[in-house]
A and B are shown apart, each in its own frame.
Chain A
Amino acid sequence: MTPNLSTGTSGTPLLVARDLSVRFGGVLAVNQVSFEVQRGEVFTLIGPNGAGKTTVFNLISRIYTPTTGTLHFEGQLLSDKPPHDIAALGIARTFQNIELFENATVLQNLLIGHHIHRGAGFWSNLFFTRASRDAELAARLSAERVIDLLGLQPLRDSFVAGLPYGKRKVVELARALCMRPKLLLLDEPSSGLNVEETEDMAWWIQDIKTELGITVLMVEHDMSLVSRVSDRVLAMNQGEVLALGTPAEVQAHPGVIEAYLGSVDDVSSLRRAAA
Chain B
Amino acid sequence: MRFIFKTDYAQDIALVKHNGQAFWYGLLVLVMLAAPFWAGDYWLSQLSFVLIYAVAGLGLMVLSGFTGLASIGHAAFLGVGAYVQTVLSAKGWPFPLTMALAAGLSAAVGVVVGLPALRVKGIYLAIATLSAGFIVEEVLARWESVTKGNAGISVTSPQFFGADLGSSEAFYYIALGTCVLVTLAVLNLLRSATGRAFIAIRDSEVSAQSMGIHLAGYKTLAFALSAAIVGLAGALYAHKLRFISPDQFGIQQSVDLLLLVVVGGLGSVHGAFLGAIFLITMPQLIAMGKDWLPPAIGQATGLQAVVYGVVLMAFVLFEPMGLYGRWLKVRTWLQLFPFYRRGLFKRQKSYAKSERLK
Contact = CB atoms under 8 A, between A and B. Distances in A.
A93 B204 CA distance: 14
Interface string A80-91: 001111111000
Contacts of A102: 203-204, 350
Nearest to B207: A99
A87 B196 contact: no
A100 interface: yes
Contacts of A246: none
Interface string B203-234: 11011111111110000010000000000000
Contacts of B215: 84
Interface in A96-112: 96-104, 107-108, 111-112
Nearest to A138: B9
B203 A179 contact: no
B193 A141 contact: no
Interface residues of A, number: 54
Nearest to B203: A101
Chain A binding surface, main DSSP class: helix
A87 B199 CA distance: 18
Contacts of A92: 210
B196 A63 contact: no
B347 A161 contact: yes
Interface in A142-164: 144, 161-162, 164
Nearest to B348: A162
A228 interface: no
Nearest to B357: A63
Contact of A113 (B191, B211, B214, B351): B211
B347 A126 contact: no
A118 B347 CA distance: 32
A213 to B, nearest CB: 21
B193 A61 contact: no
Interface string B311-328: 000000000000000000
Interface of B: 9-10, 12-13, 185, 188-189, 191-197, 199-200, 202-204, 206-215, 221, 267, 347-348, 350-355, 357
Given A88-B212, A144-B9, 16 more contacts: A86-B212, A87-B212, A99-B207, A100-B203, A101-B200, A104-B203, A108-B199, A111-B193, A112-B213, A113-B211, A115-B200, A115-B213, A126-B194, A136-B9, A165-B351, A179-B212
